[in-house]
Copies of this chain bind each other. A is one copy, B any other.
Amino acid sequence: MIIVMKARASTAQVSAVVKRIESMGYRAHLSQGEETAIIGVVGDDRPIDHSQFELLDGVERTMPVLKPFKLASRDMHPADSLIPLNGNKVGAPEVVIIAGPCSVESRSQILETAHAVKEAGATALRGGAFKPRTSPYSFQGMGEEGLALLAEARQATGLPVVTEAMSPEQVPLVAKYADVIQIGARNMQNYYLLNAAGESGATVLLKRGMMSTIEELLMSAEYILAKGNTQVMLCERGIRTFEKYTRNTTDINAVPVLKQLTHLPVILDPSHSTGKWEYVSAIAKAGVAAGADGIIVEVHPNPTEALSDGAQSLKPEKFAQLVRDIRRVAEAVGRQ
């Protein structure tokens, strides 16, 4: 941390800050500028609440120097983490594609979708059994029955299953049926859920909150990693901005930024990040071109009948075309 003193801070005020730093077991490094004094705190000051120092007399503001995440950081772990998924390694050159409906709605719906996405070349099947919905009056998912149908679809197609857990107690149940536990955007800072996912040891797909910074996403990953679970994939799914023409704004910058800051693989979700099926293909290709390790996309055999997210779901034939398109872009950027 760096502490910038006010322009008119007195020597006594500077000394008081230095003393406080030292009393906490750190060394202070004072640098007297023309208008202001600057005090550097030497040592790992991540556990301290920096805002305490902003209250000391004569302090203008504080600035962190160390990145707040450690285990997620590429500084600590320079090599890419590779997460096994259906014989692939997520994070390796091959781009993975996770596809399926927003919600599991019926046996026939999920089986038909699973076969279709498998045939088109998907790596894994997605589908929600527990659905976080803005309205208490909306369809909330099929629950454990939906999980069982997902497991049946895996049985039938060999595709591993990615599905969401919404609370700590659901984690063991979801882990029983699924291959990858998804933590949804609204739960990115549900810390008990992160801890439970960490303790489960299961592979986790952690979605960025629509209101969360890149750094906060990495801090949430840090919760899982700190429990000893290294099988974490990050997912950019769009952020909320002033632009309302699309449901969210795809933060495509987050793809190269995350690849630089962390060793964890990065998946892009163009379905939620646009909210309209007609833009999904363009943004999926953009994600791969930007360096994403995979794509997670909503596919429904009959989007006009979907109980949720119909407008952003691709029909199976559009999805098959998308897989072919993505392959070409992947090759153009040196991926497979």
Question: A residues within 8 Å of B by Cβ?
Answer: 2, 4, 7-8, 20, 29, 31-36, 38, 40-44, 46-47, 49, 51-56, 63, 65-66, 68, 75, 132-140, 166-169, 186-187, 189-192, 209-216, 219, 222-223, 226, 239-246, 249-257, 260, 273-274, 276-279, 282-283, 285-291, 303-312, 325, 328-329, 331-333
Report the minimum CB–CB distance from A126 to chain B (whole Å).
18
Copies per assembly: 4
Residues of B within 8 A of A305 (CB): 52
Known: A29-B38, A51-B309, A54-B311. 10 other contacts (CB 8 A): A31-B31, A31-B40, A49-B306, A51-B311, A54-B310, A56-B304, A168-B169, A242-B242, A243-B251, A286-B287
Please name the 10 residue pairs, one residue from A and one from B, whose CB atoms are nearest each other, closest first: A211-B211, A51-B311, A289-B289, A332-B332, A256-B282, A286-B286, A286-B290, A29-B31, A285-B289, A328-B332
Interface contact A257-B279, CB-CB below 8 Å: yes
Closest-CB distance, A201 to chain B (whole angstroms): 17
Name which residue of chain B comes closest to A188, CB basis: B186
The interface residues of chain B lying within 8 Å CB-to-CB of A139 are: 49
- Of A35, A214, A226, A325, chain B has the most CB atoms within 10 Å of the CB of A35
Contact of A240 among B20, B47, B222, B242 (CB under 8 A): B242
- A186: chain B residues at CB < 8 Å are 189-190
Option from B7, B33, B257 in Cβ contact (under 8 Å) with A245: B257
